[in-house]
């Protein structure tokens, strides 16, 4: 067991080195949520904010509303990098070499997961900083901040495992970079950018039952004090389910002979 931990940490160090070597990819994936944030706040925010109903409306209200959605776009965009990194590993012979060595098998994957989660947390901090610069004013207490960090970590952990599986399942690196793209779009088909009750019926039904909506509602509640209700429990349930599915799928793909 301790060897598995030691091997996983070795793989984590490898992963962190990779991230500094392919900084351009990291920065590009970080640019996606920031561009969305600026676009939605400065181009659309004035009008969308007025449509939120209640409160002052306008751009200032919309920055607060959209930031939790942008945080999820950050996670979804970043896991694209995870899928790419895993797929690239598979096309290079290095993974075959690891398999011929007496090391904990799962260490390669846990290295990717730990590395990606750490990277995502850094990216979330960067995006939050930009959000605050453009007017995001959270009301969270220290405990609520911690809880929000926990929810984001759980979300990152779940989506990273899913992305690892996608990277293993993809036949090419290009395929691996495409598979997680729908994840980036999911916040749009939820409560990320507009309240779900403004959506047409079918879309609203989807929005209310897809995993990202309860996660975003929980974040919104923790950071801005809106009602959370059962969103937190549903969100954590989704995270657990996605993580387990991703882990199982990844393990199966990884242990298959190739």
Q: Is 97 in the site for another protein (CB under 8 A)?
A: yes
Q: How many residues bind another protein (CB under 8 A)?
A: 22
**Window contacting another protein (CB under 8 A); options: 59-67, 87-95, 150-158, 208-216:** 87-95
Specify the residue, 72 or 90, whose C-beta has the smaller distance to another protein.
Answer: 90
Angle between helical axes of 107-133 and 142-169 (0-180°, round to 10): 130
| Contacts (CB under 8 A) with another protein, residues 218-257 | 257
Specify the residue, 2 or 202, whose C-beta has the smaller distance to another protein.
Answer: 2
Q: What are phi and psi of 138, to 5 degrees?
A: -70, 150
DSSP 170: -
Q: How far is the CB of 79 from another protein (least distance, A)?
A: 19
Q: Which of 92, 237, 244, 252 binds another protein (CB under 8 A)?
A: 92
Among 184, 183, 185, 161, smallest CA distance to 82 is for: 161
| Contacts (CB under 8 A) with another protein, residues 178-207 | none
Q: Is 101 in the site for another protein (CB under 8 A)?
A: yes
Q: Is 27 in the site for another protein (CB under 8 A)?
A: no
Q: Which of 100, 133, 200, 201 binds another protein (CB under 8 A)?
A: 100
Q: Is 102 in the site for another protein (CB under 8 A)?
A: yes
Q: Is 173 in the site for another protein (CB under 8 A)?
A: no
Q: Is 111 in the site for another protein (CB under 8 A)?
A: no
Q: Are 14 and 166 in contact (CB under 8 A)?
A: no
10 Å CB burial of residue 75 (0-12, 13-18, 19+) is buried
Residue 181: how many other CB atoms lie within 10 Å = 12
Q: Is 43 in the site for another protein (CB under 8 A)?
A: no
User: Where do the H-state alpha helices sit in the chain?
Assistant: 2-21, 23-38, 45-50, 58-91, 94-99, 107-133, 142-169, 173-178, 181-185, 201-209, 212-224, 231-255
Specify the residue, 88 or 140, whose C-beta has the smaller distance to another protein.
Answer: 88
* Binding flags for another protein, 1-20, as an x/- string (CB under 8 A): --x--xx--x--xx--xx--
What distances in angstroms separate CA 29 from CA 26, 86, 218, 244, 252, one per listed residue?
A: 5, 16, 24, 25, 28
| Contacts (CB under 8 A) with another protein, residues 113-172 | none
Among 96, 95, 114, smallest CA distance to 161 is for: 114
Specify the residue, 10 or 178, whose C-beta has the smaller distance to another protein.
Answer: 10
List residues near another protein by CB under 8 A: 3, 6-7, 10, 13-14, 17-18, 21-22, 92-94, 96-103, 257
């Amino acid at each position: 067991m301790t060897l598995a931990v030691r091997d996983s940490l070795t793989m984590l160090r490898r992963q962190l080195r990779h991230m500094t070597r392919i900084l351009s990819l990291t920065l590009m994936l970080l640019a996606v949520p920031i561009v969305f944030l600026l676009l939605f706040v400065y181009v659309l925010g004035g009008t969308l904010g007025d449509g939120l109903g209640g409160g002052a409306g306008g751009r200032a209200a919309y920055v607060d509303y959209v930031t939790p959605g942008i945080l999820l776009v950050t996670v979804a965009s970043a896991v694209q990098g995870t899928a790419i990194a895993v797929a690239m590993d598979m096309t290079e012979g290095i993974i075959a070499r690891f398999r011929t060595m007496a090391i904990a098998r799962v260490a390669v994957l846990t290295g990717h997961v730990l590395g990606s989660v750490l990277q995502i947390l850094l990216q979330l901090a960067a995006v939050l900083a930009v959000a605050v610069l453009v007017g995001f004013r959270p009301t969270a207490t220290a405990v609520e901040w911690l809880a929000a960090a926990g929810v984001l970590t759980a979300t990152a952990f779940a989506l990273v495992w899913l992305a690892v599986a996608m990277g293993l399942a993809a036949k090419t690196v290009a395929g691996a970079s495409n598979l997680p793209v729908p994840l980036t779009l999911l916040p749009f088909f939820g409560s990320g950018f507009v309240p779900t009750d403004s959506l047409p019926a079918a879309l609203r039904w989807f929005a209310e039952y897809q995993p990202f909506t309860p996660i975003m509602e929980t974040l919104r509640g923790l950071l801005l004090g809106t009602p959370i209700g059962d969103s937190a429990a549903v969100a954590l349930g989704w995270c657990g389910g996605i993580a387990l599915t991703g882990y199982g799928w990844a393990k199966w793909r990884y242990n298959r002979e190739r």
